[in-house]
């Protein structure tokens, strides 16, 4: 079988000599003699603390690749530490995807193993793999072990929002709040709630891109290394079978991913990531598919932020396959995986061992667990809400808008005792979309005004063109498209306007007469809040990023470029 890497290594000419000679530093003599070259794309970094352990995982993958006759080649790729990177990791997702794609294509590799974990790392690697279309398989780095604080489970991320609100409300001291830090993060791995990292690891498996049964294995669990070893072997098999993403990532795979997203009660961030991945493959996936396919799927997993437990509990209770088995009839039986077999075929042995953590189909946590897509004059191209994380009494609500032009404006004014706001108000935050911020940060779950917290208010309707952390909760309408900075009507809302939310009817409306709206232009202060970067990646990003309803990818990165490189480097 002819390998892609043969174009570098095969033959007796000068260029093949150069490619081989520089690589001969202790590798077996026959390493370039028709053996599959497998890149291990490693997002380990001290500045991505959730991925710091991935070099140990890479070494297990490496063993598996060698054992199967391939040659493992570790390739450090751009990493994004969700909590560390400013102004938001999402600004860099497309750059990470572009960098990984170009490095996969530029180098003499036949297949790739993708090591990710923290929120943007798996989406970026999947986007890259879809575009370059080499045989590819993901090893998710796995969640942290459970945290506990004062006798109660403390979920990563979710606990921060809850405890910081308690401190603002005066029911927790700053010292107690600080003590919870190390109780929350007590091991290697990514966030242990059903946040974006856990969601994307599981959704990647539902897509068919992970060795079945691996996603959700806690990072410190030795079975992660065992499965990483097996994935190394599998990557070599995939090259032999020419099993590339375009051969098995189809509309059916995305349908399965949407069903899985609803059944696990996953993060709203998966919507933008799945749309972006589909865009790289030319798969027709739309925002409305999430509502059409997923909104009536029952949420079965009782995990924070919507529920009680954490990822270690999910693994103990039977894992992701036990969840998928409950909704097997909703999965497309034809959708294939990295193994070459359908996803549905891998579920026979799955069992639920703890029905508190994973509910049966007949006793779901939430009967309709998916993501609802809203439209109306406030979001002509759509907005999303996760009803399972919202308050039932706010799903149909009319209220007076209290508008903020940027997150800084919000922070300056939200706790002002003179701010005219009550529990029925609708908090509107703009300037947080892909272009406006730039990068679409996770700020949509705005903290509630201190004075209302003190009165016991714990949720309000919030509307924003940004995203929300997967670990957050509340009645939050997000991903409003088009965003304010792209000329969306969100820029025209004024404090005092009435906003009507009707989730069952899938509507979000600004109750201002059409003629009045047509007369309005965005205020100077609103426009001033939109960033206008002068140079570098931010400039390119703002000029070329698409809106949230299509995945917030750069317009010139949609579609696949394949793995061919037409010119030699010497
Ligand atoms: Fe890395 Fe949550 S901050 S996964």
Predicted confidence (pLDDT) per residue in 237-249, tens digit = 999 999 999 999 9
- Do 74 and 63 lie in one domain? The reply is yes
**Contact yes or no for 126/134 (Cβ under 8 A):** no
- Do 105 and 216 lie in one domain? The reply is yes
Residue 191 — φ and ψ, nearest 5°? -55, 140
In angstroms, the Cα distances linking 569 to 8, 14, 34, 132 are: 10, 12, 21, 19
pLDDT of 327 above 90: yes
- Do 255 and 117 lie in one domain? The reply is yes
Q: How far is the CA of 541 from the centre of ligand 1 (A)?
A: 23
Q: How far is the CA of 526 from the centre of ligand 1 (A)?
A: 31
Instruction: Judge if the upstream peptide bond of residue 438 is cis by omega within 30 degrees of 0.
Output: yes
- Do 211 and 67 lie in one domain? The reply is yes
3-state DSSP assignment of residue 381? strand
Query: Which of 197, 198, 199, 304 to probe ligand 1 with, by most ligand atoms within 8 A of CB?
Result: 197
Q: What is the rounded average pLDDT of the residues 13-41?
A: 94
Burial of 431 (0-12, 13-18, 19+ CB in 10 A): buried
Residue 11 inside a domain? The answer is yes
Q: How far is the CA of 119 from the centre of ligand 1 (A)?
A: 6
pLDDT of 470 above 80: no
> Is residue 118 lining ligand 1, measured as CB closer than 6 Å?
yes
pLDDT band at 570 (very low <50, low <70, confident <90, very high): confident
pLDDT band at 527 (very low <50, low <70, confident <90, very high): confident
Query: Which of 54, 115, 118, 144 to probe ligand 1 with, by most ligand atoms within 8 A of CB?
Result: 118
Residue 93 inside a domain? The answer is yes
Structure pTM? Answer: 0.96
**Predicted local confidence at residue 164, as pLDDT:** 87
- Do 133 and 176 lie in one domain? The reply is no
Q: Which residues of 10-37 are buried (b: 16+ CB within 10 A; e: fewer)?
A: beeeeebeebbeebeeeeeeebbeebbb
**Domain end marker among 184, 207, 232:** 184
- Do 232 and 287 lie in one domain? The reply is yes
User: Reading across the β-sheet that carries 71-76, which strands appear in turn?
Assistant: 71-76, 37-42, 111-116, 136-140
Q: How far is the CA of 356 from the centre of ligand 1 (A)?
A: 25
**Predicted local confidence at residue 368, as pLDDT:** 87
Q: Whose CA is nearest to atom 1 of ligand 1?
A: 118
- Do 247 and 167 lie in one domain? The reply is no
CATH number of the domain residue 424 falls in: 3.50.30.80
Residue 546 inside a domain? The answer is no
pLDDT band at 189 (very low <50, low <70, confident <90, very high): very high
- Do 381 and 331 lie in one domain? The reply is no
346 secondary structure, DSSP code:
G
pLDDT of 471 above 80: no
Give the number of domains in the chain: 4
When mean pLDDT is compared across 157-166, 190-199, 284-293, 349-358, the lowest value belongs to 157-166
pLDDT of 389 above 90: no
pLDDT of 391 above 90: yes
- Read off the pLDDT of residues 77-135 as tens digits, 9 standing for 90 and up: 999 999 999 999 999 999 999 999 999 999 999 999 999 999 999 999 999 999 999 99
H or E segment to which residue 498 belongs:
strand 498-502
Q: What is the rounded average pLDDT of the residues 128-144?
A: 98
- Do 168 and 289 lie in one domain? The reply is no
User: Nearest to residue 553, comparing CAs of 544, 566, 563, 543?
Assistant: 544
**Contact yes or no for 113/41 (Cβ under 8 A):** yes
Q: How far is the CA of 87 from the centre of ligand 1 (A)?
A: 16
**Domain end marker among 184, 208, 239:** 184
Q: What is the rounded average pLDDT of the residues 248-256?
A: 97
Instruction: Specify the higher pLDDT residue, 295 or 48.
Output: 48
Residue 567 inside a domain? The answer is no
Domain extent for 393: 372-531
**Predicted local confidence at residue 569, as pLDDT:** 79
**Predicted local confidence at residue 469, as pLDDT:** 83
**Predicted local confidence at residue 173, as pLDDT:** 93
The percent of residues above 90 in pLDDT, for the chain, comes to: 86
Q: What angle do CA 224, 229, 231 make, to 5 degrees?
A: 90
Beta strand spans in 386-471 (E): 396-404, 426-429, 461-464
Query: Which of 191, 194, 267 to probe ligand 1 with, by most ligand atoms within 8 A of CB?
Result: 191
**Predicted local confidence at residue 161, as pLDDT:** 81
When mean pLDDT is compared across 255-264, 332-341, 560-569, the lowest value belongs to 560-569
When mean pLDDT is compared across 259-273, 310-324, 466-480, the lowest value belongs to 466-480
> Is residue 50 lining ligand 1, measured as CB closer than 6 Å?
yes
pLDDT of 541 above 80: yes
- Do 421 and 461 lie in one domain? The reply is yes
- The tokens describing 394, both together, are 């706010």
- Do 208 and 180 lie in one domain? The reply is no
Residue 353 inside a domain? The answer is no
**Predicted local confidence at residue 168, as pLDDT:** 80
Residue 539 inside a domain? The answer is no
Q: What is the rounded average pLDDT of the residues 36-51?
A: 98
Task: Looking at the CA of residue 156, tell me the nearest atom of ligand 1.
Answer: 2
Instruction: Specify the higher pLDDT residue, 431 or 559.
Output: 431
Instruction: Specify the higher pLDDT residue, 165 or 348.
Output: 348
**Predicted local confidence at residue 166, as pLDDT:** 85
**Predicted local confidence at residue 150, as pLDDT:** 87
Dist. CA 379–CA 368, nearest whole Å: 23
Q: How far is the CA of 82 from the centre of ligand 1 (A)?
A: 6
**Predicted local confidence at residue 489, as pLDDT:** 96
Q: What is the rounded average pLDDT of the residues 429-447?
A: 95
pLDDT of 516 above 90: yes
Task: Looking at the CA of residue 195, tell me the nearest atom of ligand 1.
Answer: 2
Dist. CA 77–CA 116, nearest whole Å: 10
Residue 358 inside a domain? The answer is no
**Predicted local confidence at residue 566, as pLDDT:** 79
- The tokens describing 115, both together, are 């090591």
Residue 505 inside a domain? The answer is yes
- Do 130 and 241 lie in one domain? The reply is yes
Residue 244 — φ and ψ, nearest 5°? -100, 160
């Amino acid at each position: 079988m002819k390998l892609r890497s043969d174009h570098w290594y095969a033959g007796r000419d000068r260029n093949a000599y150069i490619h081989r000679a520089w690589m001969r530093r202790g590798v077996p003599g026959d390493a370039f003699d028709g053996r599959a070259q497998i890149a291990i794309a490693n997002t380990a970094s001290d500045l991505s603390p959730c991925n710091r352990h991935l070099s140990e995982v890479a070494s297990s993958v490496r063993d598996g690749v060698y054992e199967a006759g391939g040659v493992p080649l570790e390739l450090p790729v751009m990493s994004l530490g969700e909590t560390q990177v400013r102004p938001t990791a999402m600004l860099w997702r497309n750059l990470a995807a572009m960098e990984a794609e170009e490095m996969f294509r530029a180098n003499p590799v036949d297949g790739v193993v993708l090591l990710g974990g923290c929120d943007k790392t798996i989406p970026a690697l999947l986007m890259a793999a879809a575009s370059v279309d080499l045989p590819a398989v993901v090893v998710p780095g796995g969640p942290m072990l459970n945290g506990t604080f004062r006798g109660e489970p403390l979920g990563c991320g979710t606990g921060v929002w809850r405890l910081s609100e308690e401190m603002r409300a005066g029911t927790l001291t700053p010292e107690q709040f600080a003590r919870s830090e190390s109780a929350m993060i007590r091991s290697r791995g990514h966030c242990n709630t059903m946040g974006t990292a856990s969601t994307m690891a599981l959704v990647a498996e539902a897509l068919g891109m992970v060795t079945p049964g691996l996603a959700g294995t806690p990072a410190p669990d030795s079975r992660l290394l065992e499965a990483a070893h097996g994935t190394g072997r599998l990557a070599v098999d995939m090259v032999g079978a020419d099993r590339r993403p375009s051969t098995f990532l189809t509309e059916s795979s995305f349908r399965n991913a949407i069903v899985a997203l609803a059944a696990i009660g996953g993060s709203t961030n998966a919507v933008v990531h799945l749309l972006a991945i589909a865009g790289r493959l030319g798969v027709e996936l739309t925002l409305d598919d999430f509502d059409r396919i997923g909104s009536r799927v029952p949420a079965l997993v009782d995990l924070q932020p919507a529920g009680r437990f954490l990822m270690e509990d999910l693994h103990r209770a039977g894992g992701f396959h036990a969840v998928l088995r409950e909704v097997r009839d909703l999965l497309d039986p034809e959708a294939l995986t990295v193994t070459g077999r359908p996803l549905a075929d891998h579920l026979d042995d799955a069992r639920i061992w703890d029905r508190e953590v994973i509910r049966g189909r007949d006793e779901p946590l939430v009967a309709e667990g998916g993501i609802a897509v809203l439209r109306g004059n406030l979001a002509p191209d759509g907005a999303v809400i996760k009803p399972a994380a919202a308050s039932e009494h706010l799903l149909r609500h009319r209220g007076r808008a209290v508008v903020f032009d940027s997150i800084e404006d919000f922070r300056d004014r939200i706790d002002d005792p003179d701010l005219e706001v009550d529990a029925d108000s609708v908090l509107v935050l703009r300037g947080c979309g892909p272009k406006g911020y730039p990068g679409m940060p996770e700020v949509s779950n705005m903290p509630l005004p201190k004075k209302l917290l003190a009165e016991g208010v714990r949720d309000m309707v919030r509307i924003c063109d940004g995203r929300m952390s997967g670990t957050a909760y509340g009645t939050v309408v997000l991903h409003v498209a088009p965003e304010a900075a792209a000329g969306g009507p969100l820029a025209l809302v004024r404090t005092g306007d009435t906003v009507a939310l009707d989730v069952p009817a899938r509507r979000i409306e600004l109750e201002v007469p059409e003629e009045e709206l047509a007369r309005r232009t965005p205020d100077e202060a609103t426009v001033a809040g939109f960033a206008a970067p002068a140079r570098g990646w931010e400039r390119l990003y703002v000029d070329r990023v698409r809106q949230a309803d299509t995945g917030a990818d750069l317009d010139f990165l949609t579609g696949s470029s394949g793995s061919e490189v037409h010119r030699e480097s010497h």
